């Protein structure tokens, strides 16, 4: 499996880091990473991680400015893309097909090639404009997995909440995540 992970400049960049850690556990998964300039700033503001800490978890790291990178072409086969977190600017770019950086171009390529694109939009409250752009992205083929809280599975910590979100995203690619607790039903 070959996946692209995009980390955009929304709050919650730790979700992107946790996604990379989960994918690193998969021996047959090649991860291509794109980190936006806004995400770099958010890693500085929100975490103790360096961008290098994040990049070491990927197999290939691409500059967001490199529009000639392998992942900018549909002839470079991937199984899809995860944008986590996905800023409202990035949602708008995806919805409009405005590909002025590699993250947006990669999402556009995946959509045009019929590959799965999962976005994890981070903002609240959502304005009507945000909702319109998210709906447009979904209409064009994106799977929208907002990082919503869950309670049925004993997620009583931020770490468990993030594990649930990571598990829900990975389910979209048929990947089982060992820390995900699925609903088992009630008798």
Annotated binding site for dimethylallyl phosphate: 152, 168
Distance CA 29, CA 172 (A): 15
CB 12 within 8 A of CB 85: yes
Measured distance between the N- and C-terminal CA atoms of the chain, rounded to whole angstroms: 38
Helix (H, G, I), strand (E, B) or coil at 183: coil
- Sort 148 into a burial class: Cβ within 10 Å, 0-12 / 13-18 / 19+: exposed
| Number of C-beta neighbours around residue 58 at 10 A | 20
Q: Which residues are annotated as part of the binding site?
A: 9-11, 36, 87-90, 122, 152, 168
Q: Which residues are annotated as part of the binding site for FMN?
A: 9-11, 36, 87-90, 122
Structure tokens at 66: 């490199």
């Amino acid at each position: 499996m070959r996946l692209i992970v995009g980390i955009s400049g929304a709050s919650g960049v730790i979700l992107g880091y946790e996604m990379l850690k989960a994918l690193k556990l998969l021996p047959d998964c090649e991860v291509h990473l794109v980190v936006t300039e806004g995400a770099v700033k958010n890693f500085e503001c929100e975490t103790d991680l360096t961008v290098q800490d994040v990049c070491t978890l990927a197999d290939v790291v691409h500059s967001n400015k490199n529009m000639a990178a392998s992942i900018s072409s549909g002839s470079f086969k991937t199984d899809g893309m995860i944008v986590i977190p996905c800023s409202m600017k990035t949602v708008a770019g995806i919805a409009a097909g405005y590909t002025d950086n590699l993250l947006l171009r990669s999402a556009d390529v995946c959509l045009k090639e019929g590959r799965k694109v999962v976005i994890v939009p981070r903002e609240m409250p959502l304005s009507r404009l945000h909702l319109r752009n998210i709906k447009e992205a979904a209409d064009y083929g994106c799977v929208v997995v907002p990082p919503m809280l869950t309670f049925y599975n004993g997620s009583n910590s931020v770490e468990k909440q993030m594990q649930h979100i990571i598990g829900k995203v990975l389910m979209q690619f048929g990947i089982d995540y060992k820390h995900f607790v699925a609903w088992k039903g009630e008798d």
